Structure 1
């Protein structure tokens, strides 16, 4: 029961709807020109072509919320992680969305209800409805708790009943080369914590949790003896990575500014990876840019294209309910994109939205598991920027979308019109859902999973990743069962979860006629051979072809292994990082370790926390220099002697060149031009060096094809000798098994 409970805890929820409701959306007031006031120049209709969206981030330590919790230690540790994730996310958005650019500096509006206490109320007065009395308590503008500097804002004046105004605050200089201004806070607020109350361990259902919940801290609390002896208990823990809202719009309702709030205490959790923060940032930023129940009604219809703005109008209907009461996003690109995903000809009525009260800002979880814009967040490795979400931004009428940046959404792919309905998810019509108890495989086959539900699934059940130790791709998980491994499992970067009942244990005579144990989720190595086809390997076995949809036998083992259909090797293009049978699995193939010595300002020493922050800064500079994603780099650290070390390997879903190619490129670049990093009051310069013989070997192999041939030949001979020896041992064992031997192929 413990691990079933933790499965529910691992799923997390987003706070956007309740956050956005608390913000008043501002847009430029349409009024007569005001002397001494400048404004951002809005281009005339059709005068410009869309350009990549320029996002300017403004980090502020000032918060106008009186409820923030000041914990400077946590804040400082989280700032560098948050800003590193922001740099990666905003760079990614720039390659996805394009807009008609803002001309001149971006200037934001002031809220007249804040700086003005009274306005002229006589319609016959020349200055009707202009500010007649200032609010003496006015302290400036804020956006979701972030203080906005006067330099970013229009000015304001006090108007007499007749005549010209008295200028109180002139226009600021504005922000150049910016289409969206994002304010950034790293702090603590009441939203950053979540309380979970359980009436009893055996009967209570875990409540829905907020974006960024991890189970590590909660597990320790739930596993305490207190809960076992107490009928009810409430636990408060850091439950949110970040939340965001849009604050200001342009005259055509496109978002101009917003704020993202990072919860500092949660950012320091060791269970939270950089990729998790990046995906959470992307989710929240997409809300602020327009994927929001508050903004759907402002979406525009531009039949002649984004550049021909004179033909755009507000969309008449963006959401509606179908005959079953399901809320749908009904815009054309979204409807066609979902139909294509499900394999349905033509277009659908729309894409289902999650039922979250009067507004909804997320896709329905039953149909969109793994999408960046569902309300549930299970971790970066399970989350993708899908084509249907990009179609929504195209339908907003504000953006031009680069669909080549979309990631494949596997959940429900090709499953037909009735996929994800509450009425069909439990009848066995789709293997994306489950109905049994016990262990199986998460649909991405990266993890073992347990068949369970949550409030978002509304009674439908799916295999959810186990909280601890179920990751097939983590080699360390296999260390626990090295001494005894009767199922032949292999935990490795290229291992995947398969339903199987394999065992190497000899059956007695009285068990020969008995049915074998039900298959369960097990981890085995796989390698792609063609698109959609692959081979598998258990411990000590040769590579065996695994036809999708079939069950196979593995030499040396009793039982069967079931090959999933339409799940693995779908993006295979002729070469695969998984194809490395001659590598020693214990060394984790294509693993590199890059080491850079740092020379700093004389006498400049760093504490542990400062070194952690500096490691993130160096890593971000390294990522920028390499021109690739952060996903290649793992476990960055800096020693007291200022040696920066980072592991390099390419996990599943990481797009780009091979690790060897990137490693070779970086070594050449860093030798020619070292990195120079400014951090705090210090300036640090990198000195290139290698720290492992394994790295030297792989670099040498890249430059010496003849040596590769020699090693491959030697490896082939060695593999043949091992195989002959294994077959001899197998033949001997077969004679000693009471005539009940393992299956052979």
Structure 2
């Protein structure tokens, strides 16, 4: 795919090649740094013109752009998680002799026995799940006479340097996408090395999903992570090839194939029964020692997913419910340790809340409906999804096998979506607040005056409601209802809210679980599932000397700055969310365009604002002081052009590199002038 460089960019790749050249001239050859992070190279292969109903040009290019942006983020994340013994030299994939060869020599007495004697005239090269593999990535092939030397048909390609895994990418409307419309993407491993470690794979994205605004960037990233983990080893096809190795990566050259990776327990449940997985699941469930293994979803003879009843929220379950509800959990990382191919950085694991500390009997079909665990539900009606991000209905699906849980409402139940809130002026008797820091609580609150004959309303069954929360200590928090002050919410208790009848129930072991400060908020979702990207605009402020601001004053000033931004951008207030000013006077505001917000795209508005702020800083008056913006910076969930500040920094970096190159060149010339110069090659 053609890479269009910004005209202000520095040709870093060329400078690196020059530095390499000078290093060789000075007598020292460079080599790949022994970081051992898994090196993944991605190649997008464009499908031929499609005869499907969707417009191939516009939709495929838009879909490919979203897929490649997600892949960049995902591969960076994988590199922080997994390490391998690096491939020595350029990575070259093997050709399949059953494809390029039509016949082989069958006489064991001939010198070229079992070698290709006749080429397949229809050979079109190698492919992986429909993606054509370039000849540059492949070893060559020859045809052999009965006696004598071979005739080289295709030489080895140059291969791919500094790479341990080649990932091919397609965006298409395949027959699988057509037959299974819920499939977002699918993947396969295509080739293994001599130790059975995956060397290449393909991810196919179903184009109709990538062109849908309902799928956010974070959703695509998490879906990509799921598929990439399949190709790297979490697959029913690859489980049987896992290796039994030493814990030291340097010793993993000498490994044997594991004797048993999967097994069935006494009830017939398929388990992934390797050591690290068994210990990790036992730790998660609060069971001493190790379990027999971790249950896999029943998917026929082979299974490539965790059992949903035990692993809701894991990135490697079969059903995807959005990025904000998915986690890269420790048990999944343990599986990659047990593969024998990777060293795992467990510090990157995300907490899996589902079933935590629930004991050895958790998730069994025989126990999920007896009320022994509040992760499962037994009654009908609305409640809260176990992460408390969403309202949910008590229901089941085929992967739960009759067990029921509060599954997120189809739409409108996301407490963290501002756009789900009531319109201004509408009645709000339950005091709900929809906000990025709102969570779902069971409550039967009402602000309506109760007459004597309506006293029974106090016993109305609690249902899922959305209210603000704020952490006070680890495991404790306070809540706020519309019009109320902040009220401490002791986990496991029910509290009353001033101005409301009824009770609000404080969930235990679900919110504020990390070691955060008292002003921290339980981590908000990583995706806002809006048609536009999420931006964060940051503005540094200078103030009148000697003037200081308290917390409440900073909150008031944030609204003043925000109003000035809205005026400068000539836009609507609906683009801007959660304005705040830190004690060091950095103003931040989230920017996204919710449904119903009229105007240009949020990206267009951002460009307009940054250009005008660079030409003319904001100046706002608050009380007796004047505040002026001194810089602007964009943080976004996707790749965009560099800001002017970043371009200047990059230009400066390039100049430093050029000076270094000049110095090295001078040294090289002086050194070569004192030596005998032999024949040189290009």
Q: Please, what TM-score do these two structures have when normalized by structure 1?
A: 0.68
1:578 CA drift (Å): 3.1
2:131 is aligned, of 140, 146, 149, to 146
Q: Distance in 1 between matches of 2:217 and 2:341?
A: 30
Residue equivalent to 1:294: 237
The residue aligned with 2:375 is 432
1:193 aligns with 2:165: no
Query: What is aligned with 2:475?
Result: 532
Count of matched residue pairs: 540
Do residues 569 (structure 1) and 554 (structure 2) align?
Answer: no
8 A contact 2:185–2:206 mirrored in 1: yes
Q: In structure 2, how many angstroms separate the alpha carbons of the residues matched to 1:590 and 1:367?
A: 48
Equivalent of 1:115 in 65, 81, 100: 100
1:385 is aligned to: 328
- SS of residue paired to 1:85: helix
Shift, 1:241, TM fit: 2.3
In the aligned structure 1, how far is the partner of 2:563 from the partner of 2:177? 37
2:252–2:340 CA contact under 8 A, matched in 1? no
The CA deviation string for residues 83-114 of structure 1, in whole angstroms up to 9 with x for no partner, is 10010001111110000000110000001011
Counterpart in the other structure of 1:674: 647
Between the aligned partners of 1:522 and 1:591, the Cα distance in structure 2 is 30
Residue 496 of structure 1 is matched in structure 2 by: 439
Structure 1 SS opposite 2:421: helix
User: Deviation per CA, 1:338-397, whole angstroms, max 9, x where unpaired?
Assistant: 011001111100000000000000000000000000001000000010000000000000
Distance 1:664 1:640, change over 3 A: closer
CA apart distance, 1:479: 2.8
**Equivalent pair of 1:492/1:525 in contact (CA under 8 Å):** yes
TM-align CA RMSD: 3.4
Q: What TM-score, normalized by structure 2, do the two folds share?
A: 0.74
Separation in 2 of the partners of 1:97 and 1:65?
Answer: 37
Take 2:151 and 2:473, find their aligned partners in 1: how far apart are those partners? 74
Aligned partner of 2:198 in structure 1 is 255
- Residues 1:577 and 1:112: Cα distance change in structure 2 (over 3 Å): same
Residue matched to 2:364: 421
Q: Report the equivalent of 1:639.
A: 604
The farther-off stretch of 296-305 and 273-282 is 296-305
Pick from 284, 291, 314 the counterpart of residue 348 of structure 1: 291
Please, which runs of 5 or more residues in structure 1 have no aligned partner? 1-46, 196-237, 598-630, 647-659, 678-745
Structure 2 stretches lacking a partner, 5+ long: 1-31, 523-549, 569-588, 594-600, 612-628, 637-641, 651-682
Cross-structure match for 1:180: 165
1:155 to 140, 148, 173: 140
Mapped partners of 2:559, 2:143: distance in 1: 70
Deviation track 1:671-691 (CA, whole Å, cap 9, x = no partner) reads: 5333899xxxxxxxxxxxxxx
Supply the distance in 2 between the matched residues of 1:546 and 1:563 (Cα, whole angstroms): 6
The alpha carbon displacement at 1:239 in A equals 2.9
The aligned residue for residue 490 of structure 2 is: 547
Q: 1:88 to 1:676 in 2, by over 3 A?
A: farther
The question of whether the paired residues in 1 share the 8 Å contact of 2:47 and 2:171 is answered with no
User: How much does 1:321 deviate?
Assistant: 0.1
Q: Distance in 2 between matches of 1:294 and 1:91?
A: 26
Q: How does 1:311-710 map to 2 (within 5 A)?
A: 311-480=254-423, 482-512=425-455, 516-578=459-521, 634=592, 637-639=602-604, 643=608, 670=643, 672-674=645-647
Taking the aligned partners of 1:417 and 1:591, their CA distance within structure 2 comes to 52
State the distance in 2 between where 1:481 and 1:442 align.
27
Can you list the C-alpha shifts for 1:250-297, whole angstroms capped at 9, x where unaligned?
000000001111122221101110000000000000000000000000
Q: 1:513 to 1:641 in 2, by over 3 A?
A: closer
Q: 1:376 to 1:591 in 2, by over 3 A?
A: farther
In the aligned structure 2, how far is the partner of 1:250 from the partner of 1:68?
Answer: 40
Residue by residue over 1:187-239, the C-alpha shift from the partner in whole angstroms, topping out at 9 and shown as x without a partner, is 210111346xxxxxxxxxxxxxxxxxxxxxxxxxxxxxxxxxxxxxxxxxx43
SS at match of 1:568: coil
The separation in 1 between residues aligned to 2:256 and 2:58, in whole angstroms, is 49
CA distance in 2, matches of 1:540, 1:65: 56
* Residues 1:83 and 2:68 are matched in the alignment: yes
Deviations 1:618-646 (A, max 9, x none): xxxxxxxxxxxxx9875674439964889
User: How far off is 1:493 after superposition?
Assistant: 1.4
Distance in 2 (alpha carbons) for counterparts of 1:345 and 1:483: 53
Q: Is the 8 A contact 1:534 1:547 kept in 2?
A: yes
Contact 2:444 2:458 in 1 (8 A): no
Residue 583 of structure 2: aligned partner: none
Q: Deviations over 1:149-169 (max 9, x none)?
A: 111100000011111111110
Offset of 1:577 from its aligned partner? 4.2
Which sits farther off after the overlay, 551-560 or 514-523? Answer: 514-523
Match of residue 306 from structure 1: 249
Is the 2:512–2:521 contact (alpha carbons within 8 Å) kept by the matching residues of 1? no
Relative distance call for 1:514 and 1:140 in structure 2 (3 A) is closer
